[in-house]
Structure 1
Amino acid sequence: MSYQRVLMAIDLTEESSQVADRAVALCRATNAQLSLIHVIEPLSFAYGGDVPMDLSTIQEQLDQHAQERLTEFAAGLGIPVQQQYVLTGHTESEIHRIAKQDDIDLVIVGSHGRHGLALLLGSTANGVLHGASCDVLAVRVHSE
Structure 2
Amino acid sequence: MYEHILVPTDGSETAQQAVEQAVDLASKYGATIHALYVIDVDAASYSLGTEQVNRIRRGNLDEMPEVKADAKEATGYVADAAAERDVAVEEHVTTGEPTRAIRKFIDENDIDLVVMGSHGRSGLSRVVLGSVAEKVLRRTRLPVLVVDRDDEKADL
CA distance in 2, matches of 1:29, 1:80: 12
Inter-CA distance 55–65: structure 2 relative to 1 (3 Å threshold): farther
CA distance in 1, matches of 2:65, 2:95: 12
- Show the counterpart of 2:41: 42
Q: Residue type matched to 1:104 in 2?
A: I
1:32 aligns with 2:40: no
- Show the counterpart of 2:113: 106
- Show the counterpart of 2:52: 56
Unpaired segments of 5 or more residues in structure 1? 113-118
1:23–1:108 Cα contact (<8 Å) kept: yes
CA RMSD of aligned residues (A): 2.8
2:5–2:112 Cα contact (<8 Å) kept: yes
Q: Residue type matched to 2:113 in 1?
A: L
1:60-90 deviations in Å (ceiling 9; x for gaps): 3443122331353133122667x21111210
Q: Residue type matched to 1:102 in 2?
A: N
Q: Residue type matched to 2:73 in 1?
A: R
Provide the aligned length of Structure 1 versus Structure 2.
131
- Show the counterpart of 1:97: 104
CA distance in 2, matches of 1:66, 1:55: 19
Q: Superposition pairs for residues 1-144 of structure 1, below 5 Å?
A: 2-43=1-42, 47=46, 53-56=49-52, 60-76=64-80, 77-78=82-83, 83-112=90-119, 123-142=131-150, 143=153
Identity, in percent, stands at 27
Deviation at 1:128, TM superposition (A): 0.9
TM-score with structure 1 setting the length? 0.74
Deviation at 1:133, TM superposition (A): 3.5
- Show the counterpart of 2:60: none
Unpaired segments of 5 or more residues in structure 2? 57-63, 120-126
1:7–1:107 Cα contact (<8 Å) kept: yes
CA distance in 1, matches of 2:131, 2:113: 19
CA distance in 2, matches of 1:65, 1:39: 13
Q: Residue type matched to 1:124 in 2?
A: V
2:4–2:33 Cα contact (<8 Å) kept: yes
TM-score with structure 2 setting the length? 0.69
